[in-house]
Amino acid sequence: MMHTIKVSHVAKSFGETQAVADVSFDVERGEIFGLLGPNGAGKTTTIRMMLDLFKPDRGTVSILGGPMTEEKKERIGYMPEERGLYQDAPLDRCLLYLASLKGLSLAEARQRLGALLERFDLAAHKGKKVEELSKGMQQKAQIINTILHRPELVIIDEPFTALDPINTQLVKDLMHELRQQGATILMSTHQMHQVEELCDRILLIDEGRNVLYGNLDEIRRRFSGHAVLVRVTPVLSQAEGGELPSVAGVEQVVPHNDAVKLTLAEDTAPQDVLRTLMAQGVTLEKFEIAVPTLDEIFIRVVEGGA
Amino acid sequence: MSKLWLVALYEYRRTVFKKSFILALLSVPLMISLNIGVGLLMESLENDHAPVGYIDHAGLLADPIPAPVTGSRKPVEFTPFQTEDGARAALEAKDIQAYYIVAADYAETSQIDLVYLKKPGRNATRQFYDFIQINLLSDQPPDIARRAALISDNVIVRSLDGSRQLPGGGPTFGIIMPLLISIAFLVLLVMSSSYLMQAVADEKENRTMEVLMTSISPTQFIGGKVLGIVAINFTQLVAWAAVTILGIVVARNAGIAWFQNLNLDWSIIGATLAVAIPSFVLASALMTAIGVAVTSSQEGQSIGALFFILHMIPCYLAWALIKTPNALLPTVLSLLPFTSLLTISLRNIFAAVPTWQVAASVAVQTLCAASALWLAGRAFRLGMLRYGQRLRWRELLKARSR
């Protein structure tokens, strides 16, 4: 299978500082891929090496089937961590200029821009200077700039910063649409719940190295403990967690959001617990294998080592 | 359209259609016109073409030779009076603006009294002394008398090696034309390189650099910026040149002598351009490097001002360059980057700059320009994504390219 991005053992240092030590991953066509890591882990440097803004000291990068070329730049949409638009230019002129550099004709760019400005509720502000727009509006303008030329590959750093819930949903819908249209998306963010919602696969890097890589569901299962989440009727609050009937083979009971988390003894299977609860006539609203959130996995991996 | 041209066009449009640019464009010719206008007005106010009387007690002007007048100067009529009473009556009747009394013992004392109610025009005073001078030489052949009376108009100043000659009244417009071209080029150079530095620093400040570099190549980016900025400054120069040409046409038609001789020495203009082109590339490349290396456009402007001072060194040393145009200092300044363009142009007015010096200067400027381009390329690759952090020279020379 041809990968949209293939990064193999890249490393990059700036003077004495090693920004990336050894990072490898593939991004497949049509997937939404999460590039995660704590601040200073090397995410931005990795992205810049992918885009040929930095040359790796070691390792190789293949993007859209080979090394980066000028022609490929028109097939990539990139929204960097450091947002940038011409502050003293009217919004529409700024976006049309940047679109023209991506190979769009003026007429085509105008047509597409009009539709996107409407969709992002920016049409009324198109004649305003960029510096006159709110942070959220500028963020939306950046997203428009990233996708206006309908790229095959979208690389987007913190797409939800400064967006309210309505606009966050708008961007999420847009990302789903882009994927349906066949675009590949690489997203770097610290908002783990967005990653859980959007990404198919992730790479977590720390101190410039891969620490976690693969399918998101598999990773969560890998990190799940021997525990189940249970909610019975009437709904148990956290304080009411103790009202759950005692079940043999359960070592620990702790409140967990709107349910309780039962940590099982090694020789106890979740089916045993379910059977016991049913036998006691408990009405279950929820019974599921407890898998950790990505936030929890992130903290566990970064603070405690994988 | 090539992306290079798109960058150039955008740069051009975003600057040229700004009110501040249009104001700057108009302000220079307006200021010059205003200054010239005020100068002409002052001169016309100081001149008075009404007749001037004289009483000649010395008998010097018994059979007067008319006062010599050159060029566009309008002759003042000199009216003889037999008595001071007659002259005074004419003065009070405003038939004359003033009258002179040439003392009987003028030959011994050189005494001439001037009587007036309002100070006479400078032109009248000047012409009266020419009138006296030519009549004092009435026993000489007329062409010698005339030459002596109008010494500044008839003497040709020639350099010792015979390579340059100037009229006694000073260089004509045609002679200083290469210097004016050189200054215009210097203005273009300083303005373009400052604009370029500002444009690159702005891209960093706006954080647009990273987006741009994933759309176009660094060559397209810098090439487009340079083209756009040169076009901006060329627009300025063309506008100013148009005003200058219009001024010259008006001045020639008005008969102003200084503008009559426009014979240009194309070899000097060629030498000026040969030095100017690599000087332009050198300044542009260095300003690009500065624009990328600094953290803000304001910081870049401060450093850019230093380059402007370097270019102006020949102006500070102009007297030494004029006095001994082929001495060691002018020779060294002709070879050094930044100072060569103005020095060579200035020297060329007063002496022929040896061809080897022009060739050596072009070679030095070209070498420096090539080095500066290399340096700018490295600075650009290293510094383009460095925000809020200055690029150090040591890093520039040591580090890997990206």
Q: What are the pLDDT digits (tens) for B300-321?
A: 777 777 877 888 898 888 888 8
Chain B residues inside the 8 Å CB shell of A71: none
Residue B109 has pLDDT above 60, yes or no: yes
Q: Note the pLDDT tens digit of each residue in B36-55.
A: 778 778 777 888 889 999 99
Residue the block writes with tokens 């009324």: A124
Question: Which residues of A are less than 8 Å from B208 in CB distance?
Answer: 84-86
User: What confidence score (pLDDT) does residue A239 get?
Assistant: 47
For residues B355 and B388, give the distance between their C-alpha atoms in angstroms, rounded to a whole number: 48
Interatomic CA distance for residues B114 and B53, integer angstroms: 10
| A145 interface with B at CB cutoff 8 Å | yes
* Shortest CA gap B211–chain A (Å): 7
**Rounded Cα gap, residues A160 and A61, in angstroms:** 27
Q: What is the pLDDT of residue B231?
A: 86
The minimum CA-CA distance between B210 and chain A, rounded to whole Å, is 7
Indicate which of A13, A53, A91, A157 best probes the interface with B, i.e. most B CBs within 10 Å of its own CB: A53
Flag if B210 and A55 touch (Cβ within 8 Å): no
**C-beta contacts of B128-134 below 8 A and 24+ residues apart:** B128/B52, B128/B54, B128/B67, B128/B76, B128/B78, B128/B100, B130/B67, B130/B68, B130/B69, B131/B61, B131/B64, B131/B66, B131/B67, B131/B78, B132/B60, B132/B61, B132/B102, B134/B65, B134/B67, B134/B68
pLDDT in tens, A108-122: 999 999 999 999 999
Question: pLDDT tier at A281 (50, 70, 90 boundaries)?
Answer: confident
Residue A54's region, left for phi above 0, alpha for psi from -120 to 50, else beta, is: beta
Q: Report how far apart, in Å, the C-alpha atoms of A186 and of each of A29, A152, A200, B373 are.
A: 11, 11, 10, 36
Examine the pLDDT at B112 and tell me if it is beyond 90: yes
> What is the average per-residue pLDDT within B369-385?
78
**What are the tokens at B323?**
């006095």
Do the Cβ atoms of A102 and B215 come within 8 Å? yes
Among the partner-chain residues A48, A57, A80, the one whose CB lies closest to the CB of B211 is A80
Q: Do B401 and A101 touch (CB under 8 A)?
A: no
d(CA A56, CA B321): 54
Among residues A180, A191, A187, the alpha carbon closest in space to that of A201 is found at A187
Residue to test with chain B: of A52, A93, A101, A153, most B Cβ within 10 A: A101
Say what angle helices B297-316 and B266-293 make with each other, to 10 degrees. 150
Predicted pLDDT at B99? 94
Nearest to A291 by CA among A196, A191, A189: A196
CATH topology of domain B47-154: D-Maltodextrin-Binding Protein; domain 2 (3.40.190)
Can you give the pLDDT at residue B399?
54
Task: For residue B354, report the phi and psi dihedrals to the nearest 5 degrees.
Answer: -55, 140
Place of tokens 């039962």: A262
Task: Check CB contact under 8 Å for B210 and A53.
Answer: yes
Chain A: residue whose CA lies nearest to B382: A54
pLDDT of residue B263: 66
In this complex, do B401 and A55 lie within 8 Å of one another by their Cβ atoms? yes
Model pLDDT, residue A306? 46
What's the whole-number average pLDDT of chain B?
Answer: 81
Q: What's the rounded mean pLDDT across residues A30-56?
A: 91
Interface test with A, best of B1, B215, B389 (most A CBs within 10 A): B215
Mean pLDDT of chain A: 88
Do A101 and B212 lie within an 8 Å CB cutoff?
A: yes
Q: Best mutation site among B1, B214, B397 for testing chain A: the one with the most A CBs within 10 Å?
A: B214
Q: E strands, B37-77, where?
A: 52-56
Residue whose C-alpha is closest to residue A155's, from A138, A132, A178: A178
CB contact under 8 A, A48 and B10: no
pLDDT of residue B169: 63
Tell which A residues from 41 to 60 touch B, by Cβ distance under 8 Å: 48, 51, 53-55, 57
pLDDT at A242 over 50: no
Contact A51 B214 (CB under 8 A): yes
pLDDT for B40 equals 73
What's the CA gap between A102 and A108, in Å, rounded?
12
With beta carbons under 8 A apart, name residues in chain B contacting A74. 215
How high is the pLDDT of residue A238?
44
DSSP A125: G
The verdict on B216 touching A (C-beta cutoff 8 Å) is yes
Q: Which of B209, B211, B402 sits opposite A54 (nearest CB)?
A: B402
The one-letter amino acid at A54 = F
Residue B399: closest C-alpha in chain A: A15
Q: Give mean pLDDT, residues A73-99.
A: 90
- Greater pLDDT, B333 or B325: B333
Q: Do B294 and B201 meet the contact criterion of CB atoms below 8 Å apart?
A: yes
Instruction: Give the CA angle between residues B9, B10, B14 to the nearest 5°.
Output: 120
A85/B contact by beta carbon, under 8 A:
yes
Inter-residue contact B286 to B292 (CB < 8 Å)? no
A-facing residues of B in 83-142 (CB < 8 A) are: none
A147 vs B238 pLDDT, higher one: A147
pLDDT at A137: 92
Asked if B401's CB is within 8 angstroms of A82's CB, the reply is no
A180-231 pLDDT per residue, tens: 999 999 999 888 888 888 999 999 998 899 988 999 888 888 887 778 888 8
Predicted complex: ipTM over 0.90? no
User: What percentage of chain A exceeds 70 in pLDDT?
Assistant: 95
- What are the residue ranges of CATH 3.40.190 in chain B? 47-154
Partner A, chain B 14-33, Cβ-Cβ below 8 Å:
14
- C-alpha closest to that of B151 among B163, B171, B166, B168: B168
First to last CA, chain B: 29
Q: Chain A residue closest to B9 (CA)?
A: A97
Give the separation between CA A112 and CA A144, rounded to whole angstroms: 10
**pLDDT higher for B250 or A77?**
A77
The Cα of B10 is separated from the nearest Cα of chain A by a number of Å equal to 7
User: Chain A partners of B399 at a C-beta cutoff of 8 Å?
Assistant: 15
Asked if the Cβ–Cβ distance from A51 to B206 is below 8 Å, we say: no
On the question of pLDDT at A237 being above 60, the answer is: no
Does A76 touch chain B if contact means CB atoms closer than 8 Å?
A: yes
Residue whose C-alpha is closest to residue A38's, from A185, A188, A179, A165:
A188
Which is more confident, A153 or B147? A153
Dihedral angle computed from the Cα positions of residues B265, B268, B273 and B275, in that order, rounded to the nearest 10 degrees: 180
Backbone φ, ψ for residue B139 (5° rounding): -85, -5
Residues 6 or more apart in contact with residue B170 via CB below 8 angstroms: none
Residue B129, amino acid: Y
Q: Which of the four pLDDT bands, split at 50, 70 and 90, describes residue A107? A: very high
Give the whole-number percent of chain A exceeding pLDDT 90: 52
What residues contact A31, with CB distance under 8 A and at least 6 apart?
A: A179, A184, A185, A200, A201
Residue pLDDT, tens place only, B126-138: 889 888 888 888 8
A70 touches chain B (CB under 8 A): yes
**Minimum-distance CB partner of B211 among A15, A87, A98:** A98
Element (H, E) at B163: none
Taking the C-alpha atoms of residue A287 and residue A261, their distance in angstroms, rounded to an integer, is: 10
A101 and B CB contact within 8 Å: yes
Of B206, B385, B387, the CB nearest to A48: B385
Alpha carbons B248 and A302: distance in angstroms, whole number: 77
B48-82 tens-digit pLDDT? 889 999 999 988 888 888 877 766 568 889 999 99
- Residue bearing the bigger pLDDT, A46 or B169: A46
How far away is chain A from the Cα of B376, in angstroms, using its nearest Cα? 17
pTM of the model: 0.70
Residue B402: pLDDT above 80? no
User: Residue A236 pLDDT > 50, yes or no?
Assistant: no
Q: What is the pLDDT of residue A278?
A: 84
Closest by CA to A86, choosing from B207, B215, B18, is: B207
Is the per-residue pLDDT at B195 higher than 90?
A: no
User: Cβ–Cβ of B211/A53 closer than 8 Å?
Assistant: no
Q: How far, in Å, CA of B301 to CA of B18, rounded?
A: 20
- Among chain A residues, the shortest Cα distance to B395 is held by A15
Q: Is residue B388 over pLDDT 60?
A: no
Residue B400 to residue A53, Cβ atoms within 8 A:
no
- What is the nearest CA distance from B381 to chain A, expressed in angstroms? 8
